[in-house]
Structure 1
């Protein structure tokens, strides 16, 4: 008996995003498999941030369709789109985006509260244990290092068990050792929990943790690199950025 193939975690179909006469994305099509770790790279102005914003529902494309699982984002009203982002998508940003007045537990619980869901403290404790911060629940962001704050942000992204986590330069403000720890946790979320991760980065070392790397240039996907290494990413990056 044949099985129906699983829907991609995220799918873009001929997505274009224009700002006046400038096309930040130009008819981009791609499908992100469930349980995969994909890095997205490209020169400045290549469309990386616009790609992430359209794929995650933070921005609406000028043309084309975006799907997260079985939901076509273009058909959703703004309130429904906001609810989908809260319940089915996780975000990690370079600047952490933690609430300074809230402690670690409160920051991690925020997506649950905003979504009107019961706050499961056992779930929060479990996620914080996964990122090595079980003993920091009562600390505020100002009492944590940058790497610890980013791990809180990752726990917050994972607490709702989202279909996909979008990470926008999450290691850009971290030193190499701390960045490696955050990337290891993201890799574990994929390998152990079947999480889907889309990572936008300019760092070949960060990209080498992924299963594959997409290279954007001029608002288009120009190449995919499977099973990347730092050396192979650097070689492709030099070609794209030339």
Structure 2
């Protein structure tokens, strides 16, 4: 198990986190005493067999779910003890989330989708900044296009721009390339890599794809709700072999 202590360089940390579901006589433990920290400015992929706890870890770390016990720290703030209103405010300003299904608002244009988090947070909206970030990711000519007028890869880039417009402390990504063809997936992974290398963005990404995981700085492996392995700068083959061992 990877064990970390809180430091100023830790963006988010789970301390002995347990997450259980179900009633008294049918409890399922999705996370079983997970203790791990994610350093600022790094990209970590989270992998494991189906039912290993990957998405639960991501949701607890992002404040979307509360742990049954243990602590989740976003910097020096404890998410697991925050009120619902405080959590909502943190998610709007400090946490970015990218989903496999994009989750764009179909009636809004690309620039309106990107500006939406700022409007929901009651922050001043600079359309200049919105257009700049879309131009930076190669969609400067698609500002007024609605999701149905964009390819899957373009929609995911809009979703990433939307998540980044508030300059979050951590960007969480749940299977961000899962619905994309290989070419679009490479483009999205290249964008995530640039966010880490150029902007020192912290990214925690759940994926089932060894090639996507190999694009990250490190890969964390889960099985039965526990951390069972860790690879640093692995090849796609190394990730695939380790995952195959766990699934066997």
State the TM-score, normalizing by the size of structure 1: 0.97
Instruction: Select the residue among 155, 162, 166 that pairs with 2:172.
Output: 166
For structure 1, list consecutive stretches of 5 or more residues without a partner in the other structure.
none
Task: Give, in angstroms, the shift of residue 55 of structure 1.
Answer: 0.5
**2: CA distance, partners of 1:198 / 1:40:** 7
Task: Give, in angstroms, the shift of residue 130 of structure 1.
Answer: 1.9
Could you report, residue by residue, the CA deviation over 1:7-31 in whole angstroms, capped at 9, with x for unpaired residues?
A: 4110000000001311000000000
Write out aligned runs for 1:1-242 (5 A).
5-20=7-22, 21-242=27-248
**2: CA distance, partners of 1:220 / 1:130:** 38
**1: CA distance, partners of 2:89 / 2:184:** 32
Task: Give, in angstroms, the shift of residue 152 of structure 1.
Answer: 0.2
Task: Give, in angstroms, the shift of residue 236 of structure 1.
Answer: 1.0
Could you report, residue by residue, the CA deviation over 1:163-205 in whole angstroms, capped at 9, with x for unpaired residues?
A: 0100000100100010000000000000000000011000000
Contact 1:42 1:215 in 2 (8 A): yes
**1: CA distance, partners of 2:156 / 2:222:** 26
For structure 2, list consecutive stretches of 5 or more residues without a partner in the other structure.
1-5
**2: CA distance, partners of 1:224 / 1:126:** 37
User: SS in structure 2 opposite 1:188?
Assistant: helix
**2: CA distance, partners of 1:7 / 1:182:** 26
Task: Give, in angstroms, the shift of residue 44 of structure 1.
Answer: 0.4
User: SS in structure 2 opposite 1:191?
Assistant: helix
Contact 1:7 1:70 in 2 (8 A): no
**1: CA distance, partners of 2:166 / 2:210:** 29
Task: Give, in angstroms, the shift of residue 5 of structure 1.
Answer: 5.0
**1: CA distance, partners of 2:8 / 2:68:** 28
State the TM-score, normalizing by the size of structure 2: 0.94
Contact 2:79 2:87 in 1 (8 A): yes
**1: CA distance, partners of 2:200 / 2:122:** 25
Could you report, residue by residue, the CA deviation over 1:109-140 in whole angstroms, capped at 9, with x for unpaired residues?
A: 01100000000112112211221111111111
RMSD: 1.1
